[in-house]
Structures are given as C-alpha cells and as structure tokens.
C-alpha cells in the first residue's frame, strides 16, 4: 500500500500512482476500495477512515513525488501502523457455505468480499458453493463452516435438535418452486404421485406444498438433486426443486414445455435464503457473528443498488462471461422477492416465523407452539415486514 504525504504550500491534493496523494495539512493513504485513511501531521496517530473515496481530478506533482521518494522510508519507520503489517490484528478466517452453485442469488456475499467489506470487519471469508449432496446445516453445525445459507426449513432442523440460529432473511419471499415436465402433470400436480422428484436440501416447504395438495412425502419417489436442470429434460426425473430466479431461464431457452408450481399457490409464504450460524459459533464469537452479518448485508445493499456491476462481478469472478445475461435475469426476478422497496435486506419478524411454524405444524412437520427462543438472532429481528 502506498502512502501520502504533506507538502506545505499546495492547497490541492495531487494524485500519484497507487492511491498516493499530497495535501496541505494532512497525510493520506487510499486503500484498495478507493477510501482514504487520513493522518494528521502527528505521524504516530492511528489512521481514521475518511468519509468519501479519493476521486480525480488530481495531477502528479514533481514536488510531491520528490518528497515521497526522499521521506517515504523515514515515515514508514515512524508510523507503526504502516511499517509493521504484522502489528495489525490478523483477519479471522471463516467460511460461508452456500446452498447452491455460484449465481447472482448470492451476489451480496460476493460484493462484500470483493469490495473489502469483510476485510474491514476483520474477516477473511471463504465462500463455498454447494455440490450435489451438500447440506449447509450439517456443514455449519458440524463446524466445517461458520455460516450458511439455507431456507425456512432451518426451523425444522432446529426442532430436530440441530442448533442453528437464523441471522437474516435475505429473500422476503421464497423463490423455491417445483418445476415439472408438462407431459408429467397433465391433470395437475397430483399426477406426480409415484413419480421421481429431485429435491435439494432445505426444500421442506415444497414437501409442505405437496402435502397440502394431497401428496404426502411417501407418495413420491424423492431422489438427490443433481443441480443440473437437464436431468428434467432428459427424463431422469419428472419434477425438480428449482428457483424461480434460475431454472426457468434455461428451460425457456431449451424450448421445453414445463409447469411451475409455487408454494404461494397453497398459501405458503416462507422466507428464502436465510443466513444462519450455529449456537456454538454465536456463543464463542458473538462479535464475529455481528461483524459478518453486518458486512454481508452491506454487500447486499450495494449489490441491489448496483445490479449491473454486481452481475458483471458474478460473471467474471464466479461463473463465466457468457452467463452475464442470465445473471441480469436473476436480479430482475429477485427484486420483488427481496422487497428492497419496503425493507432492508435481512429483516425478519417473530410473527412471520411463527406463521412458518404454524404451517409446518398444520402439516405435522413441527410440534404445535414450537418455541422460537434461541432460534432468532436478536439484532436481526425487525418490527414488521410487509
């Protein structure tokens, strides 16, 4: 990282390579995100984050450059925060387990990583995409990941004795749907009786939907999800769990007739993509949990305020450039599901979770009046969500 220094008699800051600037009464460092670390003339003082990024126009000043070359070694020695990288607190390594392969569906986390929000929070974050058979709840509760992205079904995991804690509901309405080949459901969803259905982990709301439609779990043949929509087209399953933001894009491109069923059709309105952790992580590292949650939601705010940039980030760093148009489709489909017009990303309410618990109880999937105590992370609970 370059440093910036005082040059008396110059009123303007002069931009040099790598974020170096010179000014009249202070020293500046521009960090990789474009934000300024501002020093007073007292070199021993710790830097403070400036309110805004350094922006052009700036010019290279020979006087400033000469000052830099002559005095940089001395100033680095005088400023412990600059001369000794090891003196800074080391970043804490954590892992986030996704529930699916890389997609715009997780854009907020990618943005938080690439924009340095996690780093600012003192975290070195590894984002792991899911593979066939990956169970985010198991990854988190068994200690292989500190955080996970799941669905409202984490409440059932909690009831089953798996100590998960919901931190934030990114999707205010779940995008989880059931997609069936049109020739497999001529008379309706009940035609799936005895048929093969690929269901991903944390898709219990689809089981609730099927049960409400008259198809209990033992009425269908449940198989492990391959994460490949082509298995539906090629007849290896008659229906698959899917996201309304994802598979329909590819199925339309294949010109294959399909039918999409959403739990909303049966009055089941759950959260989607819930960020969660374990009781053990929260008890051992409460500050880390808070920092990770705040940085993640900051990433979501940034991503949805700059969706085109976020889509390009996902396609260039996590998928492939030819997926850009698909990621644009994703974010457009996500807008009414995240409800960013009404709430901040991550908000959730006790009442909404109680409704989810009641639906599960009606279907015999959860005990009546199941306690939410310990399940909801306090700072993540809002007063109301439309």
Going from the C-alpha of 377 to that of each of 250, 276, 370, the distances in angstroms are: 36, 9, 17
Q: Do both 147 and 182 map to the same domain?
A: no
- The total number of structural domains that make up the chain: 3
HSE value, Cβ hemisphere, 13 Å, CA-based, for 276:
33
The answer to whether residue 80 sits within a structural domain is yes
Which CATH number is 368's domain given?
A: 3.40.190.10
Q: Do both 291 and 363 map to the same domain?
A: yes
Residue 110 lies in domain: 92-173+271-380
pLDDT band at 204 (very low <50, low <70, confident <90, very high): confident
The answer to whether residue 385 sits within a structural domain is no
Whether this model's pTM surpasses 0.75: no
- Three-class SS state of 54: coil
Q: Do both 347 and 358 map to the same domain?
A: yes
The answer to whether residue 201 sits within a structural domain is yes
The answer to whether residue 152 sits within a structural domain is yes
Q: Name the domain boundary from 87, 102, 117.
A: 87
Over the stretch 325-369, which tens digit does the pLDDT of each residue have?
Answer: 999 999 999 999 999 888 888 999 999 999 999 999 988 889 999
Phi, psi of 204 (to 5 degrees): -65, -25
- Range with lowest mean pLDDT among 64-78, 243-257, 358-372: 64-78
The answer to whether residue 285 sits within a structural domain is yes
Going from the C-alpha of 93 to that of each of 71, 240, 318, the distances in angstroms are: 36, 35, 20
Cβ 123 vs Cβ 91: under 8 Å: yes
Q: Is the pLDDT of residue 87 over 80?
A: no
Q: Name the domain boundary from 219, 243, 266.
A: 266
Q: Do both 367 and 276 map to the same domain?
A: yes
Q: Do both 225 and 294 map to the same domain?
A: no
Q: Is the pLDDT of residue 4 over 50?
A: no
Q: Percent of the chain beyond pLDDT 90?
A: 61
Q: Do both 56 and 119 map to the same domain?
A: no
């Amino acid at each position: 990282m370059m440093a910036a220094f005082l040059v008396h008699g110059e009123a303007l800051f002069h931009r040099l390579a790598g974020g170096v600037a010179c000014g009249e009464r202070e020293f500046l460092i521009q960090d990789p995100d474009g934000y300024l670390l501002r020093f007073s003339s007292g070199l021993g003082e710790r830097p403070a984050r400036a309110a805004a990024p350094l922006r052009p126009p700036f010019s290279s000043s020979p006087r400033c450059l000469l000052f830099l070359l002559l005095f940089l070694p001395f100033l680095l020695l005088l400023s412990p925060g600059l001369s000794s990288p090891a003196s800074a607190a080391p970043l804490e390594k954590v892992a986030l387990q996704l529930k699916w392969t890389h997609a715009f569906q997780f854009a907020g986390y990618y943005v938080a990583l690439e924009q340095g929000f996690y780093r600012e929070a003192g975290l070195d974050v590894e984002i792991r995409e899911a593979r066939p058979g990956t169970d985010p709840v198991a990854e988190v509760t068994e200690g292989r990941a500190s955080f996970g992205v799941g669905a409202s079904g984490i409440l059932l995991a909690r009831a089953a004795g798996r100590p998960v804690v919901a931190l934030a509901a990114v999707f205010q309405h779940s995008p989880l749907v059931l997609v069936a080949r049109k020739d497999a459901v001529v008379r309706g969803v009940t035609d799936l009786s005895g048929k093969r259905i690929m269901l991903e982990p944390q898709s219990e709301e689809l089981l609730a939907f099927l049960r409400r439609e008259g198809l209990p779990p033992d009425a269908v043949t449940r198989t492990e999800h391959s994460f490949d929509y082509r298995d539906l087209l090629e007849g290896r399953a008659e229906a698959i769990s899917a996201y309304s933001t994802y598979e329909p894009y590819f199925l339309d491109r294949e010109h294959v007739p399909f039918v999409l069923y959403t739990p909303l059709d049966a009055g089941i309105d759950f959260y989607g993509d819930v960020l969660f952790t374990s009781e053990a992580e929260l008890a051992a590292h409460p500050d880390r949990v808070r920092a990770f949650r705040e940085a993640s939601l900051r990433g979501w705010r940034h991503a949805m305020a700059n969706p085109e940039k976020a889509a390009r980030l996902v396609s260039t760093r996590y998928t492939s450039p030819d997926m850009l148009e698909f990621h644009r489709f994703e974010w457009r489909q996500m807008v009414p599901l995240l409800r960013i017009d009404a709430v901040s990303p991550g908000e959730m309410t006790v009442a909404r979770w109680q409704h989810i618990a009641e639906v599960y109880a009606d279907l015999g999937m959860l005990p009546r009046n199941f306690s939410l105590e310990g399940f909801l992370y306090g700072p993540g609970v809002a007063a109301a969500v439309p």
